[in-house]
Chains A and B, each alone.
Chain A
Amino acid sequence: MKEFRDKSIIRGLLTEIDKISARLKSPIKIMEVCGTHTMTIHRFGLKKLLQDAGVEMLSGPGCPVCITPNDFHEAAIESVTSRTDFILTTFGDITRVPTKKGSIQTTVPAKGSRVQIVYSPEESLEVARNSPEKDVVFFGVGFETTVPAIAISITDAYEEGLKNYSVLTALWMIPPPLRAIVQAENIAVQGFLYPGHVSAIIGEKPYRFIARQFGIPGSIAGFEPGDILLAILSILKQIEDDKPTVANEYARVVRPEGNLQAQAVIEEILETKDAHWRGLGSIPRSGLRPKKQFAAFDAEVKYDLRIKAGSEDLPGCRCGEVLQGKASPPECPLFAKTCNPESPYGPCMVSFEGACLAYYKYARR
């Protein structure tokens, strides 16, 4: 499997990418939708290599840490600082997001309460089983890759009657914001790198409208450097041949129909809802929440949290346009003034590879 990272193979792929992009009008702007793609591109130093080969990568809205509104983070922080004998369990990356109340990482919990980082929702269930005298809330944030796992923890708790467990859900779906992006006028994005593991769950169908209705090419990509470059090549070929489609460049993991079992789980336990995305505003039917029969395990209902998502958004935030590649960070009136790494407003400043944070760090060197 080391071929996926091998220097000479990567160089070969980049040479080919360079050849094609030279024939088209470069730079070609491709949006990687998934936070993990952004991470991989960063980790292997691919961004600059791709730039040199005529491809500019734009970071899209697929970063659950970034697009979950502050109001959710603050509700989580509030719960562990004001309630005693309370355990907030969460994935690690969620805890570093700064809010007006600090970040989950820097909170000082109330007496008998604590924050515990977990790797899987199953661990949260274990915590609840082992501490029956404490209230356990799992801050379940994620896209379709993680949604089934979180949903199963809800049914498991329901079946076990684990009354001290509930989930504060911030569940999101990938296709709706993509629709919002392509429906805007004069979009700059020429192709999409679709998230490999979300696709393993939802399959190819949910993206087809992007190629069919809007004529924009895209490829489902895995997470090794080789996977990403193969998918980019496929996108360039689709552009050159003017044959936009949804290509599957991760066929070893993604089936065209996705994971039907996982889709059934989602269908059974959750229902769609309109949701407010940081930086993108309200998008209809873009979020998921537990169905009413599971209300006892839905932390928002159980603790009557009344989260008013989007109430914190600042007028003027241009993340939506930055995310679409239509505005550059300094063009946003909030950039570096009210919006900076210590108190970020939009996902572009929260995501470590978000356009605004990267610009801010680069400009200061």
Chain B
Amino acid sequence: MTPPRASALRIETPEGVVFSLRLASPVLRALAWAVDALVLAAAATAIEKGARVFAMLGTDWATALDVFLYFAASMAYAMVFEWYWRGQTLGKRLFGLRVVDAQGLRLRPAQVVLRNLLRAVDFLPAAYLVGVTACLVSRKGQRLGDLAANTVVLREARLLEPDVERIAPVKYNSLAAFPHLAARLRSRVNPEAVRIAVTALALRDGYEPPARVELFGELAGYFRALVGFPEAAVEGLTDEQYVRSAVRAIYGK
């Protein structure tokens, strides 16, 4: 039985650090391929017009140049781009996809050439039917060319600057006035509960009012049960304000 398709490539480094890379879905890969096909179609038109310049040598030579250059372009397009752009063609770049070595290492020229030469089989019988089937069956979403070249296609993670302010906006926090209690809260809290609270705070404006009141009521109840802050610190705080203050206290704000 084929193991289920993984959504991420998990890599453990020799230092024991584990990280994962998101695998690209067949749909995104198909869209990237469609863009590349359009680019090649445009290249074919340009080559045809460019070859006409050589018509002065004879139409035979112009046709020969057109046939040969288009063939060379269609064979070399993905190879050249994937090598110089480190695993990306125009289509892949547009959709944030990248070809990498299946062990997370850099691509070698032999891998780039091999995975692209094997498109001949992946394309069979038409429209990449073999390749798409292989992608769906393979655990790492590899078409036959990827299997032979030991490559995978990833969806690149966007490098976003960590936004700590979003989690804990700079405002006066009455709970932070009691650092020993904040430290106790930090030591007792369940990270999963904090994650839920952070998500709830980030999305709070999107909730229906009754659901919002109920959700923050439950979360506030959980945080209140962990550590009892003095009345002076919590007086007048709504459940939502309490949760926000608790999260900020947990993160040391």
State yes or no: do A and B come from one complex. no
